[in-house]
Structure 1
Amino acid sequence: MLFKRLYQSYLCAVAGALLLGTSVLASAQGYPSKAVKVIIPFPPGGPTDTVGRMLAQKLSEETGQSFIVENRPGGQGVIGGDAVAKSAADGYTLLFSASTFTTTPMTLKSSPYDVVKDFTPIALVGKGPLAVSVNKKLPIRNIKELISYAQAHPGKMSFAIGSQASAGHLSTELLKRAGKIDYLVVPYKGSSPAYQDLIGGAIDGFIDPVLGVMSYHKSGMVRVVAVTSRDRLPSMPDVPTVAETVPGYEFYSWYGLWGPSNLPADVTKRLNAAVNKALASDLRTRLAEQGYLLSPGTPEDFARFQKEDMVRSAKIVAEAKIRAE
């Protein structure tokens, strides 16, 4: 009798496990079966929001389900990131963010999440070269003249940063060291007020994503003297790279899609495939026109890229002693 009861319990356990496995598999195969929330941890209108919304629209088209963007700014991106870290690992709450997602926690005394342990890398969407801009009244038209001017006015030249630990901030600190120059780094709450002061002459220079400076560049309100990509950009062919004067200099803001930790492998692959398909559509041309370099690849490629970038960024953060304010 005891053996019969144990055997029946065993059969129930096996049936339950099979049912659970079938349910998970069916869920993954049918994903997405409802609307997906994409949290962008910054206000509307910035480069991250612009690219994120363009991608969300394409993912909606590719999957047949709505990918709804929810802006959740605050805490330099930490509030939105924390919301995703604590969400269910079912693929219905995702994070679209920029490289500040990995660098900001490096500057905090404590972070509510671990970038590596609490998230699943899904896809690297693209890299955004930065533009080195100066006030147009300055006698600076290229990086060589910028370095000469800074050396002639040590500690007096000023560069804006749109946000702490951003790609622009790290790039600004890297240029200071690579060019062996010194200038004052002035923090702003966003790129818009930084551009206004750059145009007005209160600030001498600003390194920001190409997308952000494009309208000011085309209108002649600021002077773009270089881009931080390895090669010149098709969208700005007459603008040289920093590396043409400072060999080896290369820096990007980059954008990616993450889910919470333990996201099912099938869901991760489904999302990755949808992102790569979106990057092969007309979105490719639209982003390229704005200076972006698209980076399709596997989730493993993205995880590897993130790890390498974090090592490099941590070195800059430590050397420059960048701390969140």
Structure 2
Amino acid sequence: MLSILTRKFLEVLFFIMFITFISFLFIRLTPGDPVLTILNVDELSVSQEQVEALREDMGFNKPLLIQYGHWLLNFVQLDFGHSYATGQPVMDMIMMGLPATLELTVGSLIVMLAIAVPLGSVSALYRNSWIDQVSRLLSIFGAAIPSFWLGLIFIDLFGVRLNWLPTMGRDGYVTLILPALTLGLAISSVYVRLLRSSLLDSLSQEFIRAARARGLTERRIFFVHAFRHSLPPVITVFGVSLGSLIGGVVVVEVLFAYPGIGKMVVDAIRQRDYPLIQGYILIMGVIVFMANTCVDLSYRYLNPEMKLKERENS
């Protein structure tokens, strides 16, 4: 376990260096000039001397590698800089919006689990029955609908026509229902089909027939043996698709005007707010990397075969 953690720590260091340099480079190469955005050149009369003076004060006249070195030095000191648009520390802004984003993410995962686990399990238990057919049809239907279009339908139906739920802002858990439902339904279709396939594969294994031969009940066989054996592929895919989930959170936050860091970074892109964009990319990258690390570690506990291979190799 110590060697695994050491290797993961080195991977984290390499990953942070890689993602910070690549994101810093791509952000600087995007069209637009934050200096002109800050000075509001479209609305105010600004001289070229003022533009050059601000560019020099912000360090944009220096080579790109030197700019990156200064940013990296500040990052090592946990200083992400200040927002060009608001002047607030980037870390404070991210920490202000992160709870709302995590709240939406957790709510979406709860919706996904509440849909995917029952439908996937029932489809596997009653294979090729009408329940299985309906479940697969719903999962295909859910995968075909973009999350933003589904969100617009929910806004029109539950917010405008029926006036049951609020469609904007973050004011209690009632405002979380529509965004979480939108994102949860969008991602659940993948896991319904994946869990069904994984359960069918588990139920056909030799250890399931051996459990039946020992006289274990079907309920115990399914929930204790087959269900646990089917989890590693599902968890692996979840770790891989976590980046897509975060991208979906950004779309849903903008659609429902939900004040998380996803909506914040979209506004930052419009304003060429480099420090906030850089901080967002780094924080989200680290979160995705750590989540995948947890998935790798949990895989070793859920898959007994991996434990046996590690013991044989040690």
TM-score, length basis structure 2: 0.25
The structure where strand makes up a greater share of residues is 1
Structure whose CA Rg is larger: 2
TM-score, length basis structure 1: 0.25
The structure where helix makes up a greater share of residues is 2
